[in-house]
Chain A
Amino acid sequence: MTDYAVTPFQPIVQGVVTATAVAGPVFDGEGISSIERVAGFPAGAFLLTLDAGLIGNAGAVPPGTSPLSDPNVRTMLTMRGAGAPPISNIVATGVLYVLSPVPGVGADQIIVTTQTFPLALADPNGGFEIIVWRVNT
């Protein structure tokens, strides 16, 4: 089979996150060692810590030129719906890579935010899927 790949993507996280007002958040998959809500936000903001025990440097991704500009990592989010038909209540998402306070470590945490409409933080009604790739620039 012809190989068309010119930009290797290396997955370091893949899993499903669920959360309700009374339970969670819970991550089910690989590459995350802990998950919690961002302090002060009871819905729609999740802090995921990369698993330092994995092969490669999956415990952190090298930092970019600023906290908002990290060229070394890609993330995909997909909302799961609920009901019939399974509609998602989320219209906006965001990700941010959180730098470790230890110099040279890089970003060892990821914040994911989810919002409904009108724009307000909200948990996805069916949870969400997440894949994180490490890229070699």
Chain B
Amino acid sequence: MDNAAAPIQPIVEGLVTYPGGPGTTPQFDGKGVSAIVRDPAALNGKGAFILTLDVGLPGNAGAVPFGPSPPLLPDPDVRTLVLPIGGTGIPPLSGIASIGVSYIPSAQTGVGAPQIEAVFTNAAFVTEDPKGGFQIIVWRGLGGGVVV
């Protein structure tokens, strides 16, 4: 039986880790992302990752349309699931209390948002790397409209 009423299309799925340990160079292993860097705005050098969408993928996976300007207003066309991975302790705690995602618009008009940022903090809202990395899935949302 098909009850689906709200189509969603995955454009990114993968795992982010830091082979040198937390705070070192991150790497993405999966599909849909062509580059990953840390955001220098996180002054302690941890917990903020900017992922660039892969323009070589089918569809418009290189960017998602963004919502009304200014760009920090909500983008209705994209969904992201982020899951921190625990460390090697028992039990495997991640050390993460809050997760925020944001979509970074291109400076070029009409391109949309070609980058996604994921930010992790501890309970004091200080940016922090998940001890074991994190999983990420990004969906392109389709259609709909405003409801109040």
Contact = CB atoms under 8 A, between A and B. Distances in A.
B94 interface: no
B144 A87 contact: no
B36 interface: no
Interface stretch (B14-22, B57-65, B79-87): B79-87
A85 to B, nearest CB: 4
A81 interface: yes
B117 A86 contact: yes
A88 B99 contact: yes
B36 to A, nearest CB: 14
A136 B1 CA distance: 8
A126 B102 contact: yes
B77 to A, nearest CB: 9
A35 B42 CA distance: 34
A129 B75 CA distance: 10
Contacts of B41: 84-85
B102 A80 contact: yes
Interface string B112-128: 00000101010101010
Most buried by B among A12, A30, A56, A87: A87
Given A27-B148, A28-B76, A131-B8, A88 B100 contact: yes
A24 interface: yes
A28 B125 contact: no
Most buried by B among A27, A55, A84, A134: A84
Contacts of A134: 3-4
Contacts of A126: 72, 74, 100, 102
A100 interface: no
A117 B144 CA distance: 33
B89 interface: no
B80 A129 contact: yes
Interface stretch (A13-21, A63-71, A101-109): A13-21
Contacts of A34: 147-148
Interface string B6-36: 1110000000000000000000000000000
Contacts of B100: 79-82, 86-88, 125-126
Contacts of A11: 4-8
B146 interface: yes
Interface of A: 10-16, 18, 24-35, 51, 54-58, 76, 78-82, 84-91, 117, 125-127, 129, 131, 134, 136
Given A12-B3, A80-B102, A86-B117, 4 more contacts: A28-B146, A78-B82, A86-B48, A87-B98
